[in-house]
Structure formats: C-alpha cells, structure tokens
Amino acid sequence: MSGPEAAGKGSLIHRRYVFGLLLRLCVNFAGGVGILFVILFFALSRPLPGDYAGVFHALRNLSPFLRPVLAVSVLVYALLAFGSTSALCVYILHKVAGPLYRMELVLDQYRSGAPTRTVSFRHDDQIQPLAHAFNQWVGALRRDRQRWLATMKDAERHCLQDEATCHTKMEEALRKVAGDMERYH
Amino acid sequence: MRDLAPQPSRPRVRYVSPRFQGPAVLAFAAIIAIGGAIFWKLVDGEFQRVIPLAAVQGHYTFGSAYDIVRDLLAWHLAGLFVGVFLAGSALVLFLVAATRHGIGRAVDSLRVSADGDLSTPTGTSAIGEFDRFGKKIDAARSDTLASILMARNEVAALAAGGIPPEEFRLRWDELKHRIRRIAP
C-alpha cells in the first residue's frame, strides 16, 4: 500500500482547489496588509507645522505616540486577518472535512450492522476516490456474499431428491464456500 | 393550502469539523500573530530611530511624518505580506500533502480490502484526524474479517461431517443467516 501512489493520480485533491485556496489566501493577506497601511497612513499623515521649530517639536512628540498607534494597528490587522483566514479555512476546508465526516458516519453505520447505502459526495467535494474505494470494497463483499448464498441455495435444491444426495451436495457447497472464503485474511 | 405531510429529512451538510479545521485555523493564527509581532518590533524600532533623527537633522520642512517613513513602511509592509503569505502557502501545501498522504493510505487500504486483505493496518499518519479515521477504517475491516472468519469456521465444521442431520440443518440455516449479515 502506498499513499503517495494513490495521491499521485492527482484526484484526491485537485490542483485547481489548491490554487484557489492559495489565491484566496493571497487576497486575504493583501487585504490585511492594505488595512494596516491605511491605518498607519492616517496616523502618520497629519500635516506638520510649516516652520523648523514646529516640525522639530511635532516630530519629538510624535515619536512616543507612535508606539501605541503601531501596536493597536498591528492588533487590528492581526484580528482582521485572523477572522477572515478562519472564515476562509472553514469555507474552503469543508470540502475535505465534510466528506471525512460523512465517511465516519457511514463507517459507524456499517459497523453497527445497519444497511449501508452507496456513498457519494457533493460534486465539488474533494477526496472523491475515498467514496469510490469504499463502494468498491462493500460491493465486492456483497458479490461474494451473494455467491456464497447462491451456492448454498443451489445445494438445497437437491433436497427435493433423496436425503443422501442432499447431504452430499450441501457438503460440496460448504467446501466450495470455504475455499472461496480463503481469500479473506 | 399548505401541505402538512412530513417531508423526508435531507442529510445535513456539516461544514465545520473542529478536529480537522481547528488545528489549521490555529496554525494560520500563529503565522499571523508571529508576522504581526515581527513587523511591530522592526517597524517600532525603525520609527524610534528615524523620527527623532529626522527631528534633529531636518533642515527642511516635511509635509507629514508619513513623508519620512514612507519607504521603510512600504518595505516592511511588503515584507509582512510576503512573509505571512509564504508561511501560509507552506502551511496550505503541508495540509494538502498530509491529506493526500493520509486519505491516500485509507483509499489504498479500502482497495486492498476489496481484494481480500482485511488485516494489513491502514497506517494513515500520525496527524490526529487522519490517524483516527484510519483506525475507524481498520475497525470496520476488522469487524468484517471477524464475521467472515466466524462463518468460515462454521463452514469448515459443517463440511467436516459427523453431525446429525437435524442439527446439520439447524446450523446450515444459522450459517446462511450469518452470511447474510456480512456487509448488509
């Protein structure tokens, strides 16, 4: 078994999905930096007095005032960027998290012994091969089960004849089924 | 008139899985916080150096303080954007690689299960959500194997012979019932 081999087929997570995520992330971070720039621009672009002394005093007073301004603007940037990135994560990653959650439910249902229906994800979900592989596995199990039952049923038809033939055919059927079950390990 | 007949319930679409999206959100938050802290530290240091210097050395008038720090602010903002975006992209690529690896192993495990191998562990990865998912798949495979082995033992016992006909028929019917319960 090799994960990278299956992943190498490129169908688990589409490139388009990854590029879309990176693009949205780029726009998101650019927006955050843009907001930080706007805050700092407004904080710093207050006109200075025209004369040398006025400029000197204004700049000397501005220096300690800038520290909290910078801290608050970085905090605003961090909160905005965090909020929008969280929303982006939830919005984008649900195309992986949703199918995973769905598969977990199906596996729980399967283990509980309840009838399991064919699994299908939403058309734009990622990790589609997972549903196909699960359906393939359950399909193979069901085909084998039907074959075993058909073999047993076929042996039962001989019970309309005499008891000895019936028993012989049943034992033959059992040996066939046992041989068939050998492939499971 | 409104139709009051009960509507069939549609499967609920679940968008948030804290176990999967939570760590990703926290990792992005850490990148943003670290980027912001580095930016604050560097820019604050530069402001504290450049603005008093400009106040002392400035033999000309400035329109605003922004004129003094325009270039350094632009460079640091560009650095913040590039740094956070590159780190975020690396995280995205890591998440994609981890998902491909973890789910890829699960897919391979289900494929070999279809060929009869129900005992080789899935071995997804150490990442929490995928590890848990791999264990769920292994549990389902293990249950199936246990059912088949139980049926196989019964088949072998019946095929061995030496069982009275009445008991044979009873166990035969029970075996059919047991086989029907495989992959319902």
- Tens of pLDDT, residue by residue over B90-112, are 999 999 998 898 899 999 999 99
Interface of A with B in 77-116 (CB under 8 A): 77-78, 81-82, 85-86, 89-91, 93-94, 96-98, 100-104, 107-108, 110-111, 113-116
Put simply, whether B120 touches A (Cβ < 8 Å) is yes
| Burial degree of B34 (CB within 10 A; 0-12, 13-18, 19+) | middle
Whether A2 contacts chain B with CB within 8 A: yes
Distance from B78 to chain A by nearest Cα, in Å? 8
pLDDT for the residue numbered A51: 78
A123 vs B contacts (CB less than 8 Å): none
Q: B65 to chain A: which residues are within 8 Å by CB?
A: 44-46, 48, 58-59, 62, 66
Q: Tell me: the pLDDT tens digits for A111-151?
A: 998 888 888 888 888 889 999 999 999 999 999 999 999 99
Cα separation, A124 vs A13, whole angstroms: 11
Kindly state whether B102 is in contact with chain A, defined as any CB-CB distance less than 8 angstroms.
yes
pTM, 2 dp: 0.83
In angstroms, rounded to a whole number, what is the distance separating the alpha carbons of residues A109 and A135? 14
What residue ranges of chain B have pLDDT lower than 70? 1-16, 58-61, 124-127
What ipTM was estimated for this complex?
0.83
Q: Copy the structure tokens of residue A176.
A: 């066939």
Residue B11's pLDDT is 54
The phi, psi pair for B118, rounded to 5°, reads -110, 5
pLDDT 10s digits, A26-47: 999 999 999 999 999 999 998 8
pLDDT at position A2 over 50: no
Q: A90, B13: Cβ pair inside 8 Å? A: no
DSSP code for B117 = -
